[in-house]
Structure 1
Amino acid sequence: MGTVGDQLSFLAANRERPVLLAGARITGAGDGAEQVDILIGTDGRIAAVGSDLAPQPDTMRVDVSGTLISPGFVDMHQHLDKTGVLRFTPNPSGTLQGAREAFAAYARTAGPEDITLRASRTMARCLSRGTTAIRSHVNVDKDAGFNGIEALARLREAWADRMTLQLVAFMTPHPGQDLDWLTANVDQAVGFADAVGGTPAVSEDPGRYMDILFEAAVRAGKPIDLHLDEHLDPGNLNMHAALDRVERYGMQGRTVFSHVSVLSALEPEAARTIMERMIDLDVGAVTLPAANLYLQARDRTKLPPRGLTRVAELLRGGARIATASDNIQDPFVPTGTGDMLEIARWTLLAGNLMADELRDVHRMVTDIPAGLMGLGGDYGIRPGAWADLVLTDCEDTDTLVAGGPMQARVLARGRLVSETATVLPRALAEPA
């Protein structure tokens, strides 16, 4: 990538001059696609995209020939209130319920400063790896109260110059918890949030619980993002009831079902009926391979299932399905780097996708989640979008996803915020 880093270094501090990235190749383009120029204005947005753009006298021209440019990665399902608590929240069973109980105990003592510190560290790690938009589900319940969502609402504002952060008011039911508390507090929680969420499968009254969430979303004019049927029990199926509510409350195109692991446990015809209905109602889906691989099927004594939903069938059938990190270093997922390319690879391998679908997996961490989050014209390599870009030395989109870059630079709102490189010993770097 030559001297690109030197030429862009000033962007780490300011945006005093427009920048013309000349001769870029962009992800998703076909083999031999025409190179393009990208003009970034001083407001941090893309001013123009085209061939042989003429720089103005005050424009800084940067030759990025040989560089592949992707829009910033979008991680549309995280839990920033939980991130980084692994050592404080043991989960000996390795199960979903064990993780819930472990975090519920910790949440009773987790103050705003603790949440802010941990979330900031994870956000910084994600940004350094090219993620420029995150949607975080944030527990609101009798254990956590409003500490998490209030702290993250402040972070959303503080980070607005470098990252898009959306919050989901995750109205969390626990066994024995009165739904009246959630009813009384849902509107206040949603006031801090960008979307409304919850997890019907663990509610003592899933129907009433879902009505509370959908009615709050309609009142606030905000979308729904549910943790739906994050299990492998066909007898505990809430998908039809949730789809009924999408129709009843007019939430078509404004609803996302995360996890939907149970689809893989249904007979093919039953699963197909649900998937077709999701597509007809324009209900998005998010698969979370790290959590589902870690938490599901620990009770199986042979041939344990992978725990993911029917990723390949949803994608090939035309559903809007994204993939995301879910939890990072907590009792739900003890690992995690914030690298969406890593998540993309897990998705391809665990989701029964094929090598010729690498570009589709790239869309699952870029364009598809951007659409599900409603980022609209603020996202992408297009005039008017934020200049949130990942510049790499990869040959094409397939190699970006399959193996990742040796050199990468991240622009957020037009500023250089991260620069990484793998340096090989000379004996390895030079051909024999």
Structure 2
Amino acid sequence: MSMDEAGLLLRHVRVPAGPRATRPADILISAQGRILEIGPGLRVPGVETVDLAGCLAVPGLVDMHQHLDKSSTLAQAPNPDGTLLGAIGAFRTYAERLQADDIIERAQVTLDRCVAMGAGAIRAHTNVDYEMGLRGVDALVRLREANRHRVDVQIVAFMTSSAARGDPDRARVSLEEALAAGADCIGGTPNLAPDPRRYLDMLLDTAEKHGRLVDVHIDETLDPEARWFDYLVEGARRRSLGGRVVASHVCALSARPDDEARRAIEAAAEAGVGVCTLPAANLFLQGRGSGHRVPRGLTRVTELLDAGVTVATASDNIQDAFVPVGAGDPLEIARWTILAAHLLEDAAGRAFDMVTAAPARLMGLDGQYGLRCGAAANLLLTRCEHVEDLVAGGALARTVLHQGRVVAGSFDAMRPAGHA
């Protein structure tokens, strides 16, 4: 890009430069919302220039697993027993009368909250089943288009247990209809299907046929006999889908014997299958049948990271039958992940990567993501000292840029009192 395309110069920011370290820089952004240059002492005459007085600039946060179609429905569909099956049943009953406009109204409130917290990209798993049909996908497509200038929304056609209850061939038809209606990715719940093997094959075959990314809820149980993660990994390897498949939850991996779990993790690393852990849902829903030594319910996060598996963490549900709390803040989830997954070495750095670069890579956004020339200027600005400070305690004020334009907060909020 040439300098005459410049549209905005952010002066006197600090960018991450290693553990508990930053370096001073200016960020030049094009009129089209791309980062042109990052470095100290930039001068571009005639370009709008904002002095940010040393605030911290990091890439926009990425929440790669949400259920926007369900958010803020706890009052209408409470969970009777706090279990996964209880939540599924509660929302299924409510979904029979749920209309697209209702979904959009609630999801917009959640989306606004997420943007204010710094989320630049969200992957929304959206029910496709007998109760919802394509209403959820249609609603999320409208929501995505209405907010395209504020946040990137990637829609997963989430083939629920209800969709899998019937003939998998009929489920395939519904899935292809969802893709034609505007869904971006393929998802589902194999463990709850009558024939999980056939169901998983259907999802992977459809992804291979249409060239789509896959993100499935799998082994969301603490049953040590659950092995569908292994079958997913093998299916991805066999179809050469490495780097395009994500296994969400994988709670059962923590319940399996260490040697078996290690082999499964090594196979996932070799096949290029990523994992998304969901601490909020896993802590709330899993382990309720245990009378003592109640398990945390998460997958083996540290072992997966150490093996080279790309691991993200995300909000999952927000204030519904599956998770009764949630602020739409990926940094909050990063903190929960440190605690629940017992992260220790470079805990904040690893957790920050799990809500930034790692999910961007799993969502196929890494070509346009990050603090680098050519990437989209999706930024979070705060007055924190460094990334570790940001993860540990958050920020009292946040200013969010999407494609170089302020979509939440303000530049004035980034300047110390009395700074001109």
With the length of structure 2 as denominator, give the TM-score of the two structures: 0.93
**Alignment counterpart, residue 179 of structure 1, candidates 168, 171, 174:** 168
- Structure 1: tracts of 5 or more residues without a match: 1-15, 424-428
Q: Mark the CA change 1:379 to 1:301 in structure 2 (over 3 Å): closer, same or farther.
A: same
1:59-208 matched pairs, under 5 angstroms:
59-174=47-162, 176-191=165-180, 192-208=182-198
Match of 1:300 in 2: 290
Q: Mark the CA change 1:54 to 1:334 in structure 2 (over 3 Å): closer, same or farther.
A: same
SS in 1 for 2:23: coil
- Structure 2: tracts of 5 or more residues without a match: none
Equivalent position amino acid for 2:35 in 1? I
Equivalent position amino acid for 1:414 in 2? G
SS in 1 for 2:264: helix
1:194 is displaced (CA, Å) by: 1.3
Match of 1:20 in 2: 9
Equivalent position amino acid for 2:211 in 1? G
1:30 is displaced (CA, Å) by: 4.9
**Alignment counterpart, residue 408 of structure 1, candidates 395, 398, 410:** 398
Say what the alpha-carbon RMSD is for the aligned residues: 1.9
Contact 1:190 1:216 in 2 (8 A): no
Contact 2:16 2:23 in 1 (8 A): no
Match of 2:25 in 1: 36
Percent identity at matched positions?
47
1:306 is displaced (CA, Å) by: 0.1
Contact 1:140 1:148 in 2 (8 A): yes
In 2: Cα distance, 1:176 partner to 1:168 partner:
19
1:264 is displaced (CA, Å) by: 0.5
Match of 1:13 in 2: none
Equivalent position amino acid for 1:177 in 2? G
List per-residue Cα deviations over 1:214-266 (Å, max 9, x = no partner): 11111111011110100100123212211221122221111100000011001
In 2: Cα distance, 1:178 partner to 1:143 partner:
16
Match of 1:277 in 2: 267
Equivalent position amino acid for 1:158 in 2? A
1:28 is displaced (CA, Å) by: 4.9
Q: Mark the CA change 1:154 to 1:32 in structure 2 (over 3 Å): closer, same or farther.
A: closer
In 2: Cα distance, 1:100 partner to 1:236 partner:
19
Equivalent position amino acid for 1:235 in 2? E
Equivalent position amino acid for 1:305 in 2? P
In 1: Cα distance, 2:284 partner to 2:223 partner:
17
1:40-55 matched pairs, under 5 angstroms:
40-55=29-44
List per-residue Cα deviations over 1:137-195 (Å, max 9, x = no partner): 11101111000001111221221111110011111123843334202222111222211
Q: Mark the CA change 1:182 to 1:254 in structure 2 (over 3 Å): closer, same or farther.
A: same
Q: Mark the CA change 1:282 to 1:94 in structure 2 (over 3 Å): closer, same or farther.
A: same
1:208 is displaced (CA, Å) by: 0.7
SS in 1 for 2:157: strand
SS in 1 for 2:375: coil
In 2: Cα distance, 1:407 partner to 1:119 partner:
23
In 2: Cα distance, 1:271 partner to 1:220 partner:
32
List per-residue Cα deviations over 1:348-387 (Å, max 9, x = no partner): 0000101632111101000110011011332111122221
Equivalent position amino acid for 2:160 in 1? T
1:282-361 matched pairs, under 5 angstroms:
282-354=272-344, 356-361=346-351
SS in 1 for 2:53: coil
In 2: Cα distance, 1:32 partner to 1:330 partner:
39
Q: How many residues align?
A: 407
In 2: Cα distance, 1:144 partner to 1:95 partner:
22
Equivalent position amino acid for 1:27 in 2? P
In 2: Cα distance, 1:257 partner to 1:233 partner:
17
With the length of structure 1 as denominator, give the TM-score of the two structures: 0.91
Contact 2:208 2:239 in 1 (8 A): yes
